[in-house]
Amino acid sequence: KLQPEEKTKQEVKTSKKSAKIAPVKIPATASEIPSSVPYLLIGGGTASFSAFRAIKSLDAKAKVLIVSNESLLPYMRPPLSKEVWFVPDSEKKDPLTFQQWNGSEKSLFYEPEDFYISPKALDENPNGGVAVARGWKVERIDPYKKIAYLEGGHEIKYEKCLLATGAKPKTLDVFSKAPASIQKHVSTFRGIPDYVELNDIIKETESIAIIGGGFLGSEMACALARRAKVENANIKVYQIFKEPGNMHKILPEYLSLWTTGKVANEGVEVISNSEVQDVKLEGKAVSLMLSDGKQILANKVIVAVGVDPNTDLAENSGLEVEPHCGGYLVNAELEARSNLYAAGDCSCFYDVKFGRRRVEHHDHAVISGRLAGENMVGAGKPYLHQSMFWSDLGPDVGFEAIGIVDSSLPTVAVFAKGSDKDSPKAVVAESNDNIRSNVEANSQYKPSSVSTSQNQPAASKDQTLPPDEYGKGVIFYLRDNMVVGIVLWNVFRRMTVARQVLKDDKKYDDLNEVAKLFHIFDE
Ligand code: FAD
Ligand code: NAD
Ligand code: NAD
């Protein structure tokens, strides 16, 4: 149970002027944070959340301390670039909930406040529990002495420790070197405080420019354009990026270009093949001078140009950072050093099947957090279960993916005409779960059903179809003629089949036959 002094509700403090989540430290003083714990999780995100679930399921009385430099309890990030924007503010009881596409309301937080125990009570509680020290930063670890040092010097001795520090948004020099009067209009977007602030600002915004063509930029552009529609607001949304089409690093060129058309249909003015070269202030807006000579006026600029893993602890803790993928170097069991693990966005792990990787997606944080948690209790298991990810560009276009999906690899794709049933909205309405990695477990397409059906219509391998023919499909990514990745384009509940195709480790002469396993021609 919470100590009285900690009953600080996670409410958005709104003054007449602005909505903000003020940074707080809970508990307020380091002396209330245990100085010794069996399990220490650094970071308050999804990987930590998943790790404590795994630890508690194997060791019910475990005492777990999370130290997070966020002021909030662990929450999920995916709805922040999607569902939170799709309903008018007036229809929400609590701004930190969101409506799934079938209308049911859900909290962004994984667990309510009273699920957690106070850090002060952790040591004495015979049944253990999970405590979160919020607003506190870990500055250094001594892996040999097994001590983590908080800002201000407070020491926490651990038996097992997890690094789950996630990633921080990158920015661009053209903005970070601009005068403060311009920087006031520019921000990155990563968490609930960013959402609360932006949600407030856009009420008085006429134009917003999103820089970046990846996951975040593309999802936010679609979500904000939809928000403008549902609020009947006159907000112009621009998306500016240097690639020819949206999600160009993932999708094959033709599909990336097709997707850009869809994003434009959502009401976004997409400016591709372009970079911001210079900025200047013009009244209440920033003027963006683009490499193609265009000039855009925006009251608000969101920079979504990728993330850097948070590995600040590495240098003074004697930890190794992988030079290519940039995360804490860990083995297949997710160990960085003895009794010290890393999971989620910040870890560069050894995938027994596909080699060294770092993955920046929700389900990876869940899977790797769980594996690290299991191993902290002594399971000694390697990383074998592939994570998946999904992305939705509004309720009507979405995809799910597994393995290595990199548009620089050769791809083979099979498409079929889509219908209203082939949309993220339809799958969430049916499953009542917006976290789509959870939906996989309940799929009716079990791996046992993987057999080539004889009575399927012939699939056509075609990448130059008329524009309206990319309704749904399966895209195979090949390395040395082996399928190493699969995108299910507006095709849902088939991830178990995709996982099986990757596991099978076969060279296929005819991927049309493999595509039939996904039943994309079924009504
Ligand atoms: P994080 O969630 O970043 O958590 C890291 C935590 O560590 C934070 O609490 C941070 O404050 C804390 N921390 C860092 N350093 C320290 C320190 N020194 N001391 C204490 N605490 C520290 N993925 C998908 O697959 N599908 C999606 O649809 C999707 N949508 C997304 C939408 C948005 C808006 C964003 C931002 C991301 C989205 N992602 C999505 C990516 C996904 O959310 C991340 O991959 C995931 O959050 C990674 O989890 P993590 O626990 O590794 O890191
Ligand atoms: P990203 O890596 O997906 O995209 C980065 C984009 O930044 C590129 O497409 C490019 O347009 C742009 N860029 C990079 N360097 C640039 C430069 N120097 N100048 C101009 N443009 C440049 O990252 P993101 O879209 O910023 O997303 C942030 C994080 O959140 C990522 O980890 C991403 O995986 C995660 N996320 C995932 C999902 C999802 O899985 N559905 C959704 C949202 C966010
Ligand atoms: P699995 O054991 O069926 O398959 C693991 C993969 O690793 C296969 O491709 C297999 O061929 C390969 N493999 C096995 N031993 C290997 C070795 N020694 N060297 C190289 N490769 C090897 O496991 P799975 O179905 O991937 O599930 C793994 C774990 O994840 C299980 O604990 C399971 O309960 C859990 N799980 C999670 C989810 C989810 O979160 N969505 C869903 C299903 C299963």
Q: Tens of pLDDT along 240-288?
A: 999 999 999 999 999 999 899 999 999 999 999 999 999 999 999 999 9
In which region does residue 281 sit, left (phi positive, over 0), alpha (psi from -120 to 50) or beta (all else)?
beta
Helix, strand, or coil (residue 155): strand
Q: What is the C-alpha separation between 319 and 328, in angstroms, rounded?
A: 7
C-alpha R_g of the chain: 23
Q: Is the minimum distance from the CB of 384 to ligand 3 under 6 angstroms?
A: yes
CA dihedral 87, 93, 94, 98 (to 10 degrees): -30
Give the mean pLDDT of the chain. Answer: 89
Predicted pLDDT of residue 115: 97
Ligand nearest to the CA of 192: 1
What would the mean pLDDT of 317-344 be, rounded to a whole number?
98
Strand partners, 389: 401
One-letter amino acid at 126 equals: P
Q: Is the minimum distance from the CB of 363 to ligand 2 under 6 angstroms?
A: no
Query: Which residue ranges have their beta carbon within 6 Å of ligand 1?
Result: 42-48, 67-70, 77-78, 80-81, 137-138, 164-167, 189-190, 216, 310, 313, 344-346, 360-363, 365, 389-391
Tokens (6 digits) for 62: 């475990």
> What spacing in Å lies between the alpha carbon of 360 and ligand 2's midpoint?
10
Question: Which of the listed residues 360, 387, 434, 488 should we mutate to test ligand 2's pocket, taking the one with most ligand atoms within 8 A of CB?
Answer: 360
* Number of neighbours of residue 208 by Cβ within 10 angstroms: 24
Letter string b/e over residues 48-59, b meaning 16 or more CB atoms within 10 A of that residue's CB: bbbbbbbbbeeb
Whether 460 shows a pLDDT value over 80: the answer reads no
Whether 425 shows a pLDDT value over 50: the answer reads yes
> What spacing in Å lies between the alpha carbon of 114 and ligand 3's midpoint?
34
Q: Is the minimum distance from the CB of 437 to ligand 3 under 6 angstroms?
A: yes
> What spacing in Å lies between the alpha carbon of 519 and ligand 2's midpoint?
32
Q: Is the dihedral of CA 325, 399, 43, 137 positive or negative?
A: positive
Predicted pLDDT of residue 7: 39
Q: What is the C-alpha separation between 383 and 505, in angstroms, rounded?
A: 17
Predicted pLDDT of residue 310: 98
The dihedrals phi and psi of 201, each to the nearest 5 degrees, come to: -65, -40
Residue with CA at minimum distance from ligand 3 atom 19: 352
More confident residue, 153 or 519: 153
Whether 379 shows a pLDDT value over 60: the answer reads yes
What would the mean pLDDT of 9-15 be, rounded to a whole number?
53
Half-sphere exposure (Cβ direction) of 373: Cα atoms closer than 13 Å: 30
Whether 451 shows a pLDDT value over 50: the answer reads no
> Do 269 and 170 form a contact (C-beta atoms < 8 A)?
no
For residue 442, name the pLDDT band (cuts at 50, 70, 90): low
Whether 458 shows a pLDDT value over 50: the answer reads no
pTM of the model: 0.87
Ligand nearest to the CA of 190: 1
Residue with CA at minimum distance from ligand 2 atom 4: 214
For residue 493, name the pLDDT band (cuts at 50, 70, 90): confident
Predicted pLDDT of residue 142: 98
Ligand nearest to the CA of 369: 1
